Structure 1
Amino acid sequence: MTDATAAALPARVRRGYGLGSVATGTFGTVPGLLLLPYLTDTLGVAAVLAGVIVFLPKAWDVVLNPVAGRISDRSTHPAGRRHPFLLRGGLALALFFALMFAGPSEPTGLAAAWVVVTFLLCATAYAFFQVPYVAMPAELTLDYDERTRLMTWRVAILAVAILLSGATAPMVVDAVGKDSPAGYRLMGLYVAVILVVGVVGAWWGTRGAPEHRVETPSGSFRDQLRLVAGSADFRPLLLTFVLQALGVGTMLAGVAYVADDVLDTTAAATILFAAFVGPALLVTPLWERYSRTRTKRSGYVLATLAMVVGMLLIGAALPGLPALAYAGAAVVGVGYAGAQVFPMAMLPDVAARDAARTGENRVGVFTGVWTAGETLGLALGPAVFALVLAAGGYVSSSAEVDVTQSDGTVLAIRLGFTLLPAAIVAASLLALRGYRLDEEIRRGPA
C-alpha cells in the first residue's frame, strides 16, 4: 500500500464523488418505495402484473449495464474516461423520472403502458450514469485504504439521499391527497430536482480529478465477460451483494403497505425511513475506522448480521409494538451502512488487482456486471413482494376506492417485510465465505 498522505485524494474530489450518491440513492429508493403502490392503489393494476411492470425495465438494465461498462472502458474523451457520462446519463434520468409519473391515470392499460416505457427509459439513462460512476474509484486512487475513505463519503451522502427522498417523497404525494395522481406527478418533479442536484454536483466536483489509466482491454466483449466471471474473488462478492440487494429491495417495497395496512398510519412510512437511515449518518465513519485495523470482509460480515437482527426485531414487534419496530429499523440501518461501505470499497480492490495482474483495465466491465447484479436484486425485490401480496389475497384499487385488507393479507405483508428479507440477507453470508482478497492485500507480496 502507498503512503496515506501521498495517496489521499483532495477533499473536493471526495465530496464531489460522494454527491453522485444523491442520484443513486434517490433512484434506488423512490421507485422501490412508491412505484408498486402507485400501480396497485392509484392506477388499479393487479399486484402480479404490477410486479412484472416494476421488474421488466430493471431486467433490461441487467443486460445493458455490462454494455455501458464496456463502452465507458473504451471511452477516449479528453475530460476523462468516465466523467462525461455522469452529466449525460444523469440529466436524462431526471427527465424520464419526472415523465414516469406524469402520464394518464386511466384507462388502466394505457396508464400501465406509459409507466413501462418511461421506466425503461429511466433504466437506460441510469445505466449510463451508474456504471461509469461506480467504476471511477478504481481509477481515482490506487490505495486500498483511500478507497474505503472515498466510500465513507459516498455512503454518508447515500444515507442522506435515502432519508431525504424516502421520507419526503411520500409526504409530497400525501400533501396533495393519498394515492392521488396529481400528488404523484408533483412528487415526480420534486424527485427529478433532487436527481439533478446530485448529478451536477458529482460532475462538477470530480472535474479534473486524478485518473490512473490502464490500457483498454483487448478481445471481444464476450471474452471480457468471461474473464471477469472467472475472478475468484469477484464471484462471491457479487453474489453476496445481489442477495442483499434482493432482501433490501423486498423490504423497501413493503414500507408503504406496512404503514397503511399493518400500522394504519401513513406517518409510519416516514418514521420507518428516518429510523432506518438516521443511524447510518452516525455509524458510517465508525465502519471506516473498523476497516483500518481489520479486514473489509470481516466488517461486511458484522454489518450483515446487524441487518438480519434488525429485521427479525421488526418482525417480532409488529404490529403491537411500533416503537420497538422503529428501533429494529435503526439496527437495520446500522448494518446497511456497513453493507454499503465495505462491498463498494472491495469492488475496486478486485478490479484494480485484476488490472495490476493483466495490465488491462476491465473496471468498466466489472462494475457493469456488478450494477447489473445490484439492479437485478433491487428489481426482484418489489416483484417478490408483489407475489407475497398476491399470495396473501391483496385487493388492488383505484385512488377513489379505499379497501380494507383481510387478516391473511396483513400477515403476508408482515412476513414479506421482515422474515423473508432476513432469510435472504442471512443466506448471503454463505456466498461471502469465498472472498479472500483482503487477506492477500494485508499480507502484501509473497
Structure 2
Amino acid sequence: MSLRIGYGAGSVATGAFGTVPGLMLLPYLTDTLAVPALLAGAIVLLPKAWDVVLNPVAGRISDRTVDPRGPRRPWLLRAGLALGVCFAVLFAGPDLGSRAFDAAWVLVAFLACATAYAFFQVPYVAMPAEITDSYAERTRLMTWRVAILAFTILLAGASAPAIRDAVGGRDGYRVMGLVMAAIIVTGALLAYRGTRGARIGEVAPGPGSLRDQLRLVAAARDFRLLLVTFVVQALATGCMLAGVDYLAGDVLERDGASTILFVCFVGPALLLTPAWAALGQRIGKKRGYLASSLVLATGAALAVLAGHAPSAVVFAAVGLVGVGYAGVQVFPMAMLPDAAAVDARRTGSSRVGVYTGVWTAGETLGLALGPGLFAVVLALGSYRSSDSGDVVQPDSAVTAITLGFSVLPAVLVLASLWWLRGYALDEREVDLVDA
C-alpha cells in the first residue's frame, strides 16, 4: 500500500504541470500579453513538439542509467527539481512593454519546462512495468496514481485561476506560477522518497540504436493501437482544458465559472476512479476504456448547449465529462505497462523506457495540439486578443469557443475508438507471457 501511494505521489508533479499550462497559458498570452491567437497557439505547441522528439531519447537514457537507486528514481529527483524552477520562471517575465520580448520569454521558458518534464515523466511512467509483473497489481498502481492525479488536477486547476484573480494582472500570474512550482517540487520529492523500496527490474536494456528500438516498438501492434487512441483523446481533453477560461468568461459570462467548470471536469475522478477500476476487473480493461470514452464524448457533446441553456445544465454536462475522464485515465495507463511487459518477457530485453518515451511523447503531442487546435478555432471565429481581457467578442468568436469546447472534442473521442477496437491484449495473454 505504501509503495502504491508513494508511486502515485509523482502525479502531484505531473498533474500540476500537465494541467496549469493547458488551462492558463493560452489565456495568459491572448488576454494579458495581447499575443494574437495563432501566434499564441504556436508558442504553446512548439515546446511540446520538441518533447515529441525528446521523450524517446529520455526513455533510452533512463533505460541505460546505472545507479544504486535504480535507473528511474534519480531522474525523479533531478528533473522534478528542475521542472519546478522552470515553471516559476515561465510566468515571471518582467514587464518591459514589448510584446515580442514577452512572447520570446514564454517560448524559451516553456521549452525549458518541457525538457525537464520529459526527463521526469518518462522514467516515472516506466516504473510500473518494473515494479510488478502482475496484470491486476498494475491496475491497482494506476488506480492510486489516477486518484492522486485527479486530486492534484482539481487542486491545481481550481486554485490557479483563483490565485490569479485574487492578486490580479501579471502579478497574479507570477504568484500563481510560484505556488504551482512549489506543488511540482513537492510531488517530485514525495515520489522519489515513496519509491525507495520499489523493486528494480532485472531485464537488460535492449540492444541496438535508438532508431532500432523505436522501429521494434512501432511494430508492436497492440501498443500502437493503444497509443493512437490515447493521443487522439489527449487532443480532445487538451481542447476542453484550453477552452475553460474562454467558455466561462465569453459564453457563460459568470464570475467564478472557470473554477466551477474545472471542478465539474475533474471532481468526479476523485470518487469514481476506484469504481472504474472495479468495473475493469469485471469486464476487462478494454471494455472499461470503451465505456468511459463513450461517457466522456456524451458529456462533451451536451456542452454545446452553453449560451442557450442555464449554466447548471452546462455544469452537469461537464460533470459527465469528468465521469468519463476518470476512466480514460485509469485504463490506458494500466494497459501501457502490460504491452511493455509482454514485449520484455517475449524478447528478454527491456524497452520499457523506449515504450514510455514514445507514449509520453504522444501524450505530450496530443495535449499540446489541443490548445493549438483551440487557438485555430478562436482565430477562425475572429477572436480579439487584448492586454486586459475586457474586449467584447463578436458572435462568431462566441460560437467558435462553444464548438471548440464541445462538439470538436466529442468527435475526436468517438474517432479514437476506431483504433481501440483492434487492441487484443487481455489478462490471460499477459499472465501467460509473464509466467
Which range, TM-score by smaller chain? over 0.9
- Give the paired residue count: 433
Q: Which amino acid aligns with 2:39?
A: L
Match of 1:426 in 2: 414
Summarize deviations over 1:190-231 as a string: whole Å, max 9, x none: 100111111111111001211232111101111000000000
Contact 2:248 2:257 in 1 (8 A): yes
Match of 1:188 in 2: 177
Residue 165 of structure 1 and its aligned partner are, at CA, apart by 0.4
Contact 2:251 2:306 in 1 (8 A): no
Match of 1:40 in 2: 30
Q: Which amino acid aligns with 1:267?
A: G
Q: Which amino acid aligns with 1:415?
A: L
| 2:9 partner SS | helix
CA distance in structure 2 between the aligned counterparts of 1:443 and 1:161, rounded to whole angstroms: 33
| 1:233 partner SS | helix
Residue 303 of structure 1 and its aligned partner are, at CA, apart by 0.5
Match of 1:236 in 2: 225
Match of 1:148 in 2: 139
Residue 317 of structure 1 and its aligned partner are, at CA, apart by 4.6
Contact 2:342 2:430 in 1 (8 A): no
| 2:396 partner SS | helix
Summarize deviations over 1:221-271 as a string: whole Å, max 9, x none: 110000000001011000000000000001110000001100112401100
Matched, 1:31 2:21: yes
Match of 1:165 in 2: 156
| 1:254 partner SS | helix
Match of 2:100 in 1: 109
Match of 1:3 in 2: none
Q: Give the TM-score, by structure 1 length.
A: 0.95
| 1:213 partner SS | coil
CA distance in structure 1 between the aligned counterparts of 2:278 and 2:390, rounded to whole angstroms: 49
CA distance in structure 2 between the aligned counterparts of 1:228 and 1:402, rounded to whole angstroms: 49
Q: Which amino acid aligns with 1:216?
A: P
Work out which of the residue numbers 75, 78, 84 in structure 1 matches 2:65. Answer: 75
CA distance in structure 2 between the aligned counterparts of 1:319 and 1:95, rounded to whole angstroms: 43
Match of 2:124 in 1: 133
Matched, 1:299 2:291: no
Q: What are the equivalent positions in structure 2 for 1:284-323 lying under 5 Å apart?
A: 284-323=273-312
| 2:201 partner SS | coil
Summarize deviations over 1:250-303 as a string: whole Å, max 9, x none: 111000000110011240110011111111111111111112222100000000
Q: What are the equivalent positions in structure 2 for 1:364-403 lying under 5 Å apart?
A: 364-399=353-388, 402-403=390-391
Residue 318 of structure 1 and its aligned partner are, at CA, apart by 3.9
Q: Which amino acid aligns with 1:39?
A: L
Summarize deviations over 1:320-372 as a string: whole Å, max 9, x none: 32111111111111111110111000000000000000000000000000000
| 2:154 partner SS | helix
Matched, 1:213 2:202: yes
Match of 1:265 in 2: 254
Match of 1:6 in 2: none
CA distance in structure 1 between the aligned counterparts of 2:297 and 2:304, rounded to whole angstroms: 11
Gaps of 5+ in 1: 1-10
Contact 1:256 1:266 in 2 (8 A): no
Matched, 1:437 2:425: yes
Match of 1:407 in 2: 395
Contact 2:135 2:431 in 1 (8 A): no
CA distance in structure 2 between the aligned counterparts of 1:266 and 1:26, rounded to whole angstroms: 23
CA distance in structure 2 between the aligned counterparts of 1:267 and 1:251, rounded to whole angstroms: 17
Contact 2:251 2:398 in 1 (8 A): yes
Q: Give the TM-score, by structure 2 length.
A: 0.98
| 2:254 partner SS | coil
Residue 319 of structure 1 and its aligned partner are, at CA, apart by 4.1
Contact 2:134 2:431 in 1 (8 A): no
| 2:74 partner SS | helix
Q: Which amino acid aligns with 1:153?
A: W
CA distance in structure 1 between the aligned counterparts of 2:325 and 2:38, rounded to whole angstroms: 28
Contact 2:268 2:322 in 1 (8 A): yes
| 2:221 partner SS | coil
